[in-house]
Copies of this chain bind each other. A is one copy, B any other.
Amino acid sequence: MKDDFLYIEISNNIARLIRDKVLHAGDRLPSVRMLCQEHGISMNTAKRVFLELASQSLIESKPQSGYYVSQLPYQRLPIPAISNPSPVSSNSEPDELIRRVYSTRGKKGLTFFSIGVPSKELLPLAKLNKEILHAIRQLPASGTEYEQLQGNEELRRMIAARAISWGGHLRESDLITTAGGMNALSFCMMALGKRGDTIAMESPCYPGSLQLARSLGLKVLELPTHPITGVEIDALKKVVHKINLCLLVPNFNTPLGSCMPEENKKEIVALLAKHHIPLIEDDIYGDLYFGAQRPKCCKTFDQEGNVLLCSSFSKTLAPGYRVGWVAPGKYQEQVLKLKHAHAISSSTITQEAIANFLKNGRYDNHLRKMRLTLQQNYTHYINAITEYFPEDTKISRPQGGLALWVEFNKKVNTAELFEEAMKHKISIAPGRMFTLQDQFKNCMRLSLGLLLSEEVERKLKLLGRLVKSQTIQF
């Protein structure tokens, strides 16, 4: 615990030096070793100091060289305001727009700023292939047989063991595997919501969750959400009597990348439990933190089994494997029954492959690399946007995850920008996709999951030019 305070204290001091311009952009910071000696701290603590500063985009690492004060003029571009959705469900689905954007999926030669999954260069393909081979050799009947209803036992054991990283406690018997994260959310919503019920979500929000709720006839109540600290608790308090269900993505949600502070998580868990409103928690981005420490989950503070924690390996290992999971708390029976009725079992081979990958201790190592890449991408994007985009552009400050949220002035229409950008082989995700209301038309989401290249740089520059030309037209 002492170290916990130390690393925060030291990083706060350095942050102040940067903000007060004592340290300038481009200045080299002391090495990890030097920091140890200076402060009499362990290597681990020193590393956490740098990770913390990097997660705030105050410093950047340069390979084989060390840490430098970020070139990033982070104070120039403001963050967007707290969202302000209507307190009345409007349920106007942006179907046509979503279809248009998704239709670009898989097209050759496009730069996919629109897609919320890591590109293949960020994934451990060779190792995963080995695990697939191992799985078909190891499994009875080569994996052609039905997996047991609750899912691969070894996989559930490995997921349960990882709960320690978010301060939770799970046993393998608490878990049910699913065909990807959406399938987990689907079972939860089906188990707990009925046609006409109201479900509260963040705004802006992942389009898939909005579509899922609508497909089940649920009304969606969008909640004011802060780009840094997530959903506004006071707003939730005001409507808590009107809702039947709540879905939140507390850690690095898409598109904002916000992360709820621990005290907010605690408060929301208590609030919803008090009103007997189940909380579906989507933690699909939780492992992709840029800072020194993985954030906790709402589930961490769940005393009553009222939180259904969902996640998957689609954002960190292999979207196409369709392996997700849910820890449904006291709603386990209902969710299990739905899995039985709607799916019978999950995909045998890919579950086994991921279980082996985790068992071989490869996951943490992979995540470490991936987080570093995403964080570097984030810094790079912010620099590029500051340089190439209009001066009144606002951007979110994700401290993890795969998404960056960009807000332009009201003259810009990102649905039109999408069409313009497509002519230059750029695919973006227009803001209107992330709501069922008439808002966010001047916003867009950029995926951080790309492999940086001159091409990506060139495309960001081009995108900036397209935005600027839209503002001039008016």
Complex: A195 Cα to B143 Cα, angstroms: 36
Q: Are B141 and A120 in contact (CB under 8 A)?
A: yes
Q: Is the CB of B338 within 8 A of A145?
A: no
A279 within 8 A of B: no
Of A51-59, A72-80, A345-353, the one touching chain B: A345-353
Interface flags for A292-315 (1: CB within 8 Å of B; 0: not) read 000000000000000000000000
Known A-B contacts A145-B320, A148-B105, A319-B145; the reply to A180 vs B133 at CB < 8 A is no
CB-CB nearest in chain B for A137: B129
Residue from A133, A179, A317, A319 whose CB has the most chain B CB atoms within 10 Å: A179
> B residues within 8 A CB of A214?
341
Residue of B nearest to A139 (CB): B320
What is the CA–CA distance of A150 and B346 in the complex, to the nearest angstrom?
A: 19
Asked if A247 CB lies within 8 Å of chain B CBs, one says no
Give the segment of A182-190, A382-390, A438-446, A454-462 that binds chain B: A182-190
Name which residue of chain B comes closest to A119, CB basis. B141
CB within 8 Å for A215 and B338 given contacts A125-B142, A349-B350: yes
A344 touches B208 (CB 8 A): yes
Q: How far is the CA of A363 from the CA of B345 in the complex (A)?
A: 24
Known interface pairs A105-B146, A125-B144. Does A180 touch B344 (Cβ–Cβ under 8 Å)? yes
- Interface check A280, CB cutoff 8 A: no
Q: CB within 8 Å of B: which of A202-247?
A: 208, 211-212, 214-215, 217
Closest to A191 in B: B215
Which chain B positions have C-beta within 8 A of A348? 320-322
- Assess whether A144 is in contact with B128, with CB atoms less than 8 Å apart: yes
Q: Whole-angstrom distance from the CB of A132 to the nearest CB of chain B?
A: 6
Are A142 and B117 neighbours in the complex by a CB distance under 8 Å? no
Chain B residue numbers with a CB within 8 Å of A143 are 318, 320-321
User: B132, A144: Cβ atoms under 8 Å?
Assistant: no
Interface residues of A in 99-150 (CB under 8 A from B): 102, 105-106, 117, 120, 123, 125, 128-129, 132-133, 136, 140-149
Taking the closest CB of chain B, its distance from the CB of A239, in whole angstroms, is: 24
Q: Is A337 an interface residue (CB 8 A)?
A: yes
Interchain CA distance A343-B322 in the complex, whole Å = 9
**Is A39 an interface residue, CB under 8 A from the partner?**
no
> How far, in angstroms, from A106 to B345 measured CA to CA in the complex?
13
Pick from B141, B212, B321: contact of A341, CB under 8 Å: B212
Contact of A120 among B140, B212, B317, B344 (CB under 8 A): B140
State whether A322 touches B337 (Cβ < 8 A).
no
The reply to whether A179 and B343 contact each other, CB–CB distance below 8 Å, is: yes
Q: Tell whether, in the assembled complex, residue A349 and residue B337 are in contact, meaning their CB atoms are under 8 Å apart.
A: no
Say which residue of B142, B179, B320 sits within 8 Å of A349 (CB atoms): B320
Chain B contacts for A133, CB-based, 8 A? 133
**CB of A214 to closest CB in B, whole Å:** 8
Contact of A320 among B106, B182, B212, B347 (CB under 8 A): B347
A342 within 8 A of B: yes
Cross-chain contact B145 with A179 (CB below 8 angstroms):
no
A204 to chain B, nearest CB (A): 18
Q: How far is the CB of A366 from chain B (nearest CB, A)?
A: 12
Contact residues in B for A321 (Cβ distance below 8 Å): 143-144, 347-349
In the bound complex, residues from chain B placing their C-beta under 8 Å from that of A319 are: 144-146, 344-345
In angstroms, how far is the closest chain B Cβ from the Cβ of A158?
Answer: 19
**Which among A182, A341, A344 has the highest number of chain B CB atoms within 10 Å?**
A341
Q: Does A194 sit at the interface, judged by CB under 8 A?
A: yes
Tell me if A340 counts as interface (CB < 8 A to partner B): yes
- For A187, the closest partner residue in chain B by CB is B342
Q: Looking at the assembled complex, report how far the CB atom of A91 sits from the nearest CB atom of chain B, in whole angstroms.
A: 14
